[in-house]
Amino acid sequence: MTPRLLVNFIRDNCSEELARSITGGASWELIAENIICQAIFKVTKKLPTRQFPYPGSTKTADFAFTDDTVLHVVELKVESAHEVGKFAGNSFAAAKSADKAKLETFNATVLNQPTSADVPQHVPFTVVKIQVFIGYSGPGKASIGTMTNWTDSGDGLIRYGANLVE
Protein backbone atom coordinates (compact mmCIF):
# COMPACT_ATOMS: atom_id res chain seq x y z
CA MET A 1 0.00 0.00 0.00
CA THR A 2 1.41 3.36 -0.96
CA PRO A 3 1.21 6.42 1.31
CA ARG A 4 -1.48 7.86 -1.00
CA LEU A 5 -3.57 4.68 -0.78
CA LEU A 6 -3.16 4.60 3.01
CA VAL A 7 -4.38 8.18 3.56
CA ASN A 8 -7.28 7.58 1.18
CA PHE A 9 -8.13 4.37 3.05
CA ILE A 10 -8.07 6.21 6.40
CA ARG A 11 -10.19 9.05 4.97
CA ASP A 12 -12.76 6.66 3.50
CA ASN A 13 -12.97 4.27 6.46
CA CYS A 14 -12.15 6.25 9.60
CA SER A 15 -13.14 9.92 9.23
CA GLU A 16 -16.40 9.80 11.15
CA GLU A 17 -14.93 8.01 14.17
CA LEU A 18 -11.78 10.14 14.14
CA ALA A 19 -13.86 13.34 14.11
CA ARG A 20 -15.74 12.14 17.21
CA SER A 21 -12.44 11.25 18.91
CA ILE A 22 -10.96 14.70 18.39
CA THR A 23 -13.86 16.33 20.19
CA GLY A 24 -13.22 14.04 23.18
CA GLY A 25 -9.86 15.74 23.69
CA ALA A 26 -7.03 14.22 25.72
CA SER A 27 -4.60 11.76 24.16
CA TRP A 28 -6.49 10.70 21.09
CA GLU A 29 -3.49 9.29 19.18
CA LEU A 30 -3.99 5.88 20.78
CA ILE A 31 -7.67 6.05 19.90
CA ALA A 32 -6.75 6.97 16.31
CA GLU A 33 -4.36 3.99 16.12
CA ASN A 34 -7.13 1.70 17.31
CA ILE A 35 -9.68 3.09 14.86
CA ILE A 36 -7.28 2.73 11.93
CA CYS A 37 -6.18 -0.78 12.94
CA GLN A 38 -9.79 -1.92 13.30
CA ALA A 39 -10.62 -0.54 9.84
CA ILE A 40 -7.62 -2.35 8.31
CA PHE A 41 -8.74 -5.59 9.99
CA LYS A 42 -12.31 -5.15 8.80
CA VAL A 43 -11.13 -4.95 5.19
CA THR A 44 -8.13 -7.34 5.16
CA LYS A 45 -9.13 -9.77 7.94
CA LYS A 46 -5.52 -9.42 9.17
CA LEU A 47 -5.13 -7.65 12.49
CA PRO A 48 -2.38 -5.02 12.46
CA THR A 49 0.14 -5.19 15.27
CA ARG A 50 0.18 -2.15 17.52
CA GLN A 51 3.50 -1.13 19.11
CA PHE A 52 5.35 -3.25 16.54
CA PRO A 53 8.94 -3.83 17.73
CA TYR A 54 11.85 -2.56 15.68
CA PRO A 55 14.17 -5.53 15.07
CA GLY A 56 17.20 -5.47 17.35
CA SER A 57 15.95 -2.38 19.19
CA THR A 58 13.74 -1.30 22.07
CA LYS A 59 11.87 1.09 19.74
CA THR A 60 8.35 0.34 18.54
CA ALA A 61 6.31 1.57 15.59
CA ASP A 62 2.79 2.76 16.26
CA PHE A 63 1.47 -0.12 14.16
CA ALA A 64 2.37 -2.46 11.34
CA PHE A 65 0.37 -4.62 8.94
CA THR A 66 1.06 -6.98 6.08
CA ASP A 67 -0.41 -7.77 2.72
CA ASP A 68 1.17 -10.76 1.04
CA THR A 69 4.93 -10.21 1.37
CA VAL A 70 4.86 -6.47 2.16
CA LEU A 71 5.23 -5.25 5.73
CA HIS A 72 3.93 -1.71 6.28
CA VAL A 73 5.52 -0.03 9.31
CA VAL A 74 3.61 3.09 10.34
CA GLU A 75 4.46 5.98 12.62
CA LEU A 76 1.34 8.04 13.33
CA LYS A 77 1.08 11.57 14.66
CA VAL A 78 -2.19 13.33 15.39
CA GLU A 79 -2.62 17.00 16.13
CA SER A 80 -3.00 17.69 19.82
CA ALA A 81 -6.56 18.22 20.99
CA HIS A 82 -5.32 20.92 23.38
CA GLU A 83 -2.40 22.54 21.51
CA VAL A 84 -3.39 23.77 18.06
CA GLY A 85 -0.76 22.94 15.45
CA LYS A 86 1.23 20.65 17.77
CA PHE A 87 1.91 16.97 17.15
CA ALA A 88 3.04 14.96 20.20
CA GLY A 89 3.87 18.28 21.85
CA ASN A 90 6.13 19.39 19.00
CA SER A 91 5.83 21.52 15.91
CA PHE A 92 4.83 19.67 12.76
CA ALA A 93 8.38 19.97 11.38
CA ALA A 94 9.97 18.60 14.57
CA ALA A 95 7.49 15.70 14.83
CA LYS A 96 7.93 14.86 11.15
CA SER A 97 11.72 14.95 11.43
CA ALA A 98 11.75 12.78 14.57
CA ASP A 99 9.48 10.11 13.08
CA LYS A 100 11.46 10.11 9.82
CA ALA A 101 14.71 9.61 11.73
CA LYS A 102 13.11 6.84 13.77
CA LEU A 103 11.77 5.02 10.70
CA GLU A 104 15.17 5.26 9.02
CA THR A 105 16.57 3.09 11.84
CA PHE A 106 14.10 0.26 11.16
CA ASN A 107 16.38 -2.64 10.17
CA ALA A 108 14.47 -4.79 7.69
CA THR A 109 17.51 -7.02 7.14
CA VAL A 110 16.93 -8.69 10.50
CA LEU A 111 13.34 -9.52 9.54
CA ASN A 112 14.43 -11.02 6.27
CA GLN A 113 16.56 -13.78 7.79
CA PRO A 114 15.10 -17.31 7.93
CA THR A 115 14.44 -18.25 11.55
CA SER A 116 15.89 -21.74 11.10
CA ALA A 117 17.33 -24.15 8.55
CA ASP A 118 13.89 -25.76 8.47
CA VAL A 119 12.45 -22.79 6.57
CA PRO A 120 13.76 -23.09 3.01
CA GLN A 121 10.53 -21.50 1.70
CA HIS A 122 11.27 -18.27 3.59
CA VAL A 123 10.03 -15.31 1.57
CA PRO A 124 11.67 -12.00 2.45
CA PHE A 125 9.41 -9.09 3.32
CA THR A 126 9.48 -5.91 1.37
CA VAL A 127 9.28 -3.24 4.06
CA VAL A 128 7.40 -0.01 3.42
CA LYS A 129 7.91 2.67 6.08
CA ILE A 130 5.22 5.36 6.22
CA GLN A 131 4.67 8.48 8.31
CA VAL A 132 1.01 9.42 8.79
CA PHE A 133 -0.22 12.74 10.17
CA ILE A 134 -3.78 13.71 11.08
CA GLY A 135 -4.80 17.31 11.78
CA TYR A 136 -7.97 19.29 12.26
CA SER A 137 -7.09 22.97 12.87
CA GLY A 138 -6.18 25.56 10.27
CA PRO A 139 -2.47 25.51 11.23
CA GLY A 140 -2.41 21.70 11.54
CA LYS A 141 -4.06 21.19 8.17
CA ALA A 142 -1.78 23.77 6.53
CA SER A 143 1.29 21.90 7.78
CA ILE A 144 -0.03 18.56 6.55
CA GLY A 145 -0.77 20.20 3.19
CA THR A 146 3.00 20.45 2.66
CA MET A 147 3.29 16.65 2.56
CA THR A 148 3.48 14.81 -0.76
CA ASN A 149 0.35 12.73 -0.15
CA TRP A 150 -2.55 14.44 1.59
CA THR A 151 -6.32 14.49 1.44
CA ASP A 152 -9.24 15.98 3.35
CA SER A 153 -12.25 14.20 4.81
CA GLY A 154 -15.42 14.66 2.80
CA ASP A 155 -16.69 17.29 5.22
CA GLY A 156 -13.30 19.04 5.27
CA LEU A 157 -12.93 18.73 9.04
CA ILE A 158 -9.82 16.52 8.99
CA ARG A 159 -6.70 16.46 6.83
CA TYR A 160 -4.60 13.33 6.42
CA GLY A 161 -1.04 13.25 5.15
CA ALA A 162 1.54 10.54 4.56
CA ASN A 163 5.12 10.21 3.36
CA LEU A 164 7.22 7.25 2.37
CA VAL A 165 10.49 6.96 4.30
CA GLU A 166 13.33 5.23 2.47
The confidence score (pLDDT) of residue 113 equals: 55
State the pTM of this model. 0.88
Q: Residue 157: what residue type?
A: L
What confidence tens digit (pLDDT) does each residue in 17-67 have? 998 888 776 678 899 999 999 999 999 999 999 999 988 889 999 999 988
Is residue 42 classed exposed, middle or buried when 0-12, 13-18 and 19+ CB atoms within 10 A define those classes?
exposed
Determine the 3-state secondary structure of 161 from DSSP: strand
For position 81, what pLDDT does the model report? Answer: 84
Q: Domain 3-109+124-165: which topology?
A: Trna Endonuclease; Chain: A, domain 1 (3.40.1350)
> What are 58-81's pLDDT values in tens digits?
999 999 998 877 889 999 999 998
pLDDT of residue 124: 66
For position 6, what pLDDT does the model report?
94
Residue 148 is predicted with a pLDDT of 84
What's the rounded Cα separation, in Å, for the pair 164 and 156? Answer: 24
pLDDT digit string, tens, across residues 89-138: 899 999 999 999 999 998 876 665 555 454 445 556 788 999 999 999 99
pLDDT in tens, 135-165: 999 999 999 999 989 999 988 889 999 999 9
Q: 30-35: long-range contacts at Cβ-Cβ below 8 A with a sequence spacing of 24 or more?
A: 32/76, 32/78, 32/134, 33/62, 33/63, 33/76
Dist. CA 63–CA 3, nearest whole Å:
14
| 3-state SS assignment for residue 51 | strand
